[in-house]
Amino acid sequence: MKKLKLFIGILLCGSIFLFAEKEAKSDSNFKISQKLTTGINFVYVEGGTFTMGSIDGEALDPLNYDYEKPLHDVTVDSFNMLSTEVTQGLFEAVMGYNGSYYTGGSQGWKNHPNPAYSVEIKYNKAYYKGLSKPVECVTWYEAVVFCNRWSVLEGLTPCYSLNGSVNPDDWGTYELNVPGNSMLGTTWDIIECNWEADGFRLPTEAEWEYAARGGKYKNPYKYSGSNKISEVAWYRWNSSNQTHKVAAKKPNALGIYDMTGNVCEWCWDWDYYGNPYPETPQNNPTGPEKGPYRIRRGGDYGDYFLCKVSARNCWLPFHGSCGLGFRVVSRYGNFTEGTPVIRR
């Protein structure tokens, strides 16, 4: 009988331990999310193989371009993706400032007057009406810095490093490799990604398109979640030429919002602008080794042609715009299915 009681006690302790691990590792318990009124939600994207690119013979509405081809099979591993674009509220909580154009009040370049102002007090008083809108006017470099800073705040391993350091404070300011020639890049173009780290990072172009198409559900939609763009997107004809609150439209099959419209989203990959895909099957592709541009995906509030799930575009990494934001992914945990994660 004593042995039986001891065995039951061990089982109960084990159950409590797993429950505590699940609670401690839940995305809803991230330190930053506890400071935000809307919370932070990740969606588990189960890995798989899909056909990437535009389909020949598809109606030219919107147009299919040659650099969306050739069609090729791509396999990606499982990952977790933020269900919305990074909001102004989340960006401010991590970075301490907000340079977005559409902050909800008067439109214009606007930074928080006091970045050291208490985050808890600031959000309780709803300092900006635009906190639930996607952050924009962020460069690719700012998005990378955000990823590392948030990773550190949550006790995760940062993905990005520059000259061996994962601390953006050590990176200094970027400079053009050749003064006066932006096409030859900057000193920050040698940023590297540790794909095995459990911290936050930008999705690869392949991960982005896989998630936008519904992942394992492989929805044959032109847009992310529907063939009717107005159901899933803020775009040229319904946005009043401005961004809108995230998650206000229909999500796709995975429960991910705004992958069509609202703001374009930075991806990791380099691009040469108009560079076609490889013809052979790819496994977790991360794009070219270098290039003047970084990929952006999804179209924005003033766009129509780039809102397709297959549409490609790019931008200089040190330039931001009021129609360009980002979302993040992570290989940490399994948020949707609640699998306990024990970090070692």
- CATH of residue 267's domain is 3.90.1580.10
In a domain? residue 95: yes
- Residue 158 one-letter amino acid: P
Task: State whether residue 329 is helix, strand or coil.
Answer: strand
CA distance 21 to 333: 11
In a domain? residue 12: no
User: In angstroms, how far is the first alpha carbon of the chain from the final one?
Assistant: 35
Q: Which one, of 208, 89, 103, lies nearest residue 150 by Cα?
A: 89
Encoded tokens for 170: 């050590």
In a domain? residue 18: no
CA distance 29 to 22: 10
In a domain? residue 25: no
Task: State whether residue 283 is helix, strand or coil.
Answer: strand
Most distant pair of Cα atoms in the chain: their distance: 82
The angle, 0 to 180 degrees and rounded to 10, between the axes of the packed helices 140-153 and 88-95 is 70
In a domain? residue 343: no
Q: Which one, of 328, 253, 271, 301, lies nearest residue 84 by Cα?
A: 328
Task: State whether residue 290 is helix, strand or coil.
Answer: coil
In a domain? residue 160: yes
CB 265 within 8 A of CB 297: yes
Encoded tokens for 80: 């977790």
Q: Is the N-terminal amide bond of 113 cis, ω within 30° of 0?
A: no
In a domain? residue 336: no
pLDDT tens for each residue of the chain, 344 residues long: 444 444 334 343 443 333 233 333 467 678 888 777 666 889 999 999 999 998 766 666 777 778 898 999 999 999 999 999 999 889 988 888 888 888 764 333 344 444 443 343 344 344 456 678 999 999 999 999 999 999 999 999 999 999 999 999 999 999 999 999 988 999 999 999 999 999 999 999 999 999 999 999 999 899 999 999 999 999 999 999 999 999 999 999 999 999 999 999 999 999 976 788 999 999 999 999 999 999 999 999 999 989 999 999 999 999 999 999 999 999 876 555 433 332 22
CB 268 within 8 A of CB 204: yes
pLDDT value, residue 333: 66
CA distance 241 to 1: 73
Instruction: Provide the 8-state DSSP code for 197.
Output: -
CA distance 196 to 332: 10
Cβ atoms within 10 Å, residue 95? 18
Place of tokens 């992570």: 330
**pTM, 2 dp:** 0.85
CA distance 53 to 65: 10
Instruction: Provide the 8-state DSSP code for 183.
Output: G
pLDDT value, residue 12: 38
CA distance 216 to 218: 5
Range of the domain at 52: 31-330
CB 149 within 8 A of CB 115: no
In a domain? residue 23: no
Q: Is the N-terminal amide bond of 62 cis, ω within 30° of 0?
A: yes
* Total domains, the chain: 1
